[in-house]
């Protein structure tokens, strides 16, 4: 017995030592961060073009970010003169706008209301240079018999929310109905949909492209089949005045003004990203596969399966291709986001923002330049998306 125990222990400690070495090696990768733009202040038009940039995502790789991974995979970034584009996922540990302010990355993907909150709280300046998602994908999902058919019906109900800045549309929409957070019971929900399925909340927050699909991937114990959309009431915040702009590409305002190389890189970056999303629009299956492969192989993201990714790709395309030009910030939607952010008061009685953001908080200059250049090069930048019918499977596998 002693001998076999000893052998086992030796094996175990060898494993421990090997993994220790591996961990030490793999950590080396994170050391070579991209270097910041040219340090020398050069005068107009004369600059060394940036060839290495980093993009901060707001979550792990999934079809929500397909356009960026497609641009990487299809070489669109290279075509625009970038030798290396690093896409940095976040596991919730990195707040994209903070990473951008700190100079860890050159561009960041973040929801507009969250950044507006940061801008006011810290006084930094960032600019929304492309509004990738034109409409809001947030839903409030309740059971079909719950009687919750609009935001007005929230009164007296237990409403699930994720928090972490994802909750402002709820409060903005409620404010528009004359409800404040004391009239409902706000419950923090996790990222699974069990709170709704178990009846712990009356209505749960869900994104069209993620949690909504997760509900529809669960077997209904009464029928033995998957739950159907008819089993639920869905309030879409896009249909309310609480709708806010979501995934946008943010850049450092001061660098855009002072560093012509950065401003030039922003346009080239947007050209590549636009092409990436056009590819995702025209080839949703392939785009979903590309991002799924990145998530599984490169980033240890443990994503939900390929069917779920295709659903997500399909839903995300609906949010992006609304008929307007790709990425151009609609001033009406922007103003509505700002108005909602000003009106929303959360369950702690706090406002997201108390004053209008600076003029510099968004600019269509760069995306319009990018679209114009792409049009000159013969790329079809207009177009609409024809949604697929995605048949969900149990567990999205």
Q: Which residues bind another protein (CB under 8 A)?
A: 1-2, 5-6, 8-10, 12-13, 15-24, 26-27, 30-31, 60, 89-94, 102, 157-158, 185, 187, 190-195, 197-202, 214-215, 217-218, 221, 292, 295-296, 299-308, 394-397
Q: Which is nearer to another protein, 199 or 383 (CB)?
A: 199
Q: Which is nearer to another protein, 200 or 335 (CB)?
A: 200
Q: Which is nearer to another protein, 3 or 355 (CB)?
A: 3
Q: Which is nearer to another protein, 143 or 241 (CB)?
A: 143
The SS3 assignment for 16 reads helix
Residue 143 CA to residue 200 CA, distance in Å, equals 12
Q: Which is nearer to another protein, 221 or 378 (CB)?
A: 221
Provide the edge-to-edge strand list for the sheet that holds 126-130. 84-88, 52-56, 107-110, 248-252, 126-130
Are the beta carbons of 168 and 341 closer than 8 angstroms? yes
Residue 195 CA to residue 185 CA, distance in Å, equals 14
Shortest Cβ distance from residue 53 to another protein (Å)? 19
Q: Which is nearer to another protein, 196 or 344 (CB)?
A: 196
Shortest Cβ distance from residue 183 to another protein (Å)? 14
Q: Residue 345: beta bridge partners? A: 351
Q: Which is nearer to another protein, 258 or 394 (CB)?
A: 394
Residues 6 or more apart whose Cβ sits within 8 Å of residue 343:
171, 172, 175, 176
**DSSP calls for 258-273:** H-HHHHHHHHHHHHHH
Angle (CA) 130-135-141 rounded to 5° is 140
Shortest Cβ distance from residue 199 to another protein (Å)? 6
Whose tokens are 């609609």? That residue is 330
Shortest Cβ distance from residue 165 to another protein (Å)? 15
Tell the burial category of 79 from Cβ atoms under 10 Å away from its Cβ (0-12, 13-18, 19+): middle
Shortest Cβ distance from residue 3 to another protein (Å)? 11
Shortest Cβ distance from residue 353 to another protein (Å)? 25
Shortest Cβ distance from residue 162 to another protein (Å)? 11
Are the beta carbons of 277 and 249 closer than 8 angstroms? no
């Amino acid at each position: 017995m002693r001998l076999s125990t000893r052998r086992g222990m030796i094996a175990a400690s060898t494993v421990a030592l090997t993994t220790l070495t591996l961990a030490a090696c793999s950590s080396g990768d994170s050391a070579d961060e991209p270097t910041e733009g040219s340090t020398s202040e050069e005068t107009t038009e004369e600059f060394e073009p940036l060839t290495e940039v980093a993009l901060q995502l707001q979550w792990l790789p999934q079809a929500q970010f397909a356009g960026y991974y497609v641009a990487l995979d299809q070489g669109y970034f290279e075509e625009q003169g970038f030798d290396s584009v690093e896409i940095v996922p976040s596991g919730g540990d990195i707040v994209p706008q903070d990473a951008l302010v700190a100079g860890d990355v050159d561009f960041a993907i973040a929801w507009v209301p969250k950044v507006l909150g940061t801008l006011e709280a810290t006084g930094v300046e960032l600019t929304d240079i492309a509004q990738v998602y034109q409409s809001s994908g947030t839903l409030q999902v309740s059971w079909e018999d719950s009687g919750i058919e609009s935001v007005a019906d929230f009164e007296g109900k237990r409403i699930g929310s994720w928090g972490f800045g994802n909750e402002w549309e709820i409060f903005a929409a409620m404010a528009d109905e004359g409800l404040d957070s004391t009239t409902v019971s706000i419950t923090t929900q996790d990222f699974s949909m069990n709170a709704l399925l178990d009846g712990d909340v009356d209505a749960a927050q869900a994104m069209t492209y993620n949690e909504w699909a997760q509900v529809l991937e669960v077997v209904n114990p009464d029928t033995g089949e998957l739950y159907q959309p008819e089993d639920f009431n869905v309030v879409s915040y896009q249909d309310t005045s609480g709708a806010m702009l979501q995934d946008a590409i943010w850049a450092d305002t001061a660098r855009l003004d002072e560093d012509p190389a950065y401003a030039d890189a922003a346009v080239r970056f947007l050209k590549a990203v636009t092409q990436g999303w056009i590819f995702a629009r025209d080839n949703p299956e392939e785009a979903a596969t590309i991002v799924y492969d990145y998530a599984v192989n490169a980033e240890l993201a443990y994503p939900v399966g390929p069917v779920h990714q295709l659903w997500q790709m399909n839903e995300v395309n609906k949010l992006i291709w609304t008929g307007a030009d790709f990425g151009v910030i609609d001033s009406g939607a922007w103003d509505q986001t700002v108005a909602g952010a000003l009106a929303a008061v959360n369950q702690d009685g706090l406002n997201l923002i108390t004053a209008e953001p600076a003029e510099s908080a968004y600019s269509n200059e760069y995306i319009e330049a990018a679209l114009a250049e792409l049009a000159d090069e013969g790329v079809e930048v207009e177009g609409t998306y024809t949604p697929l019918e995605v048949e969900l499977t149990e567990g999205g596998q």
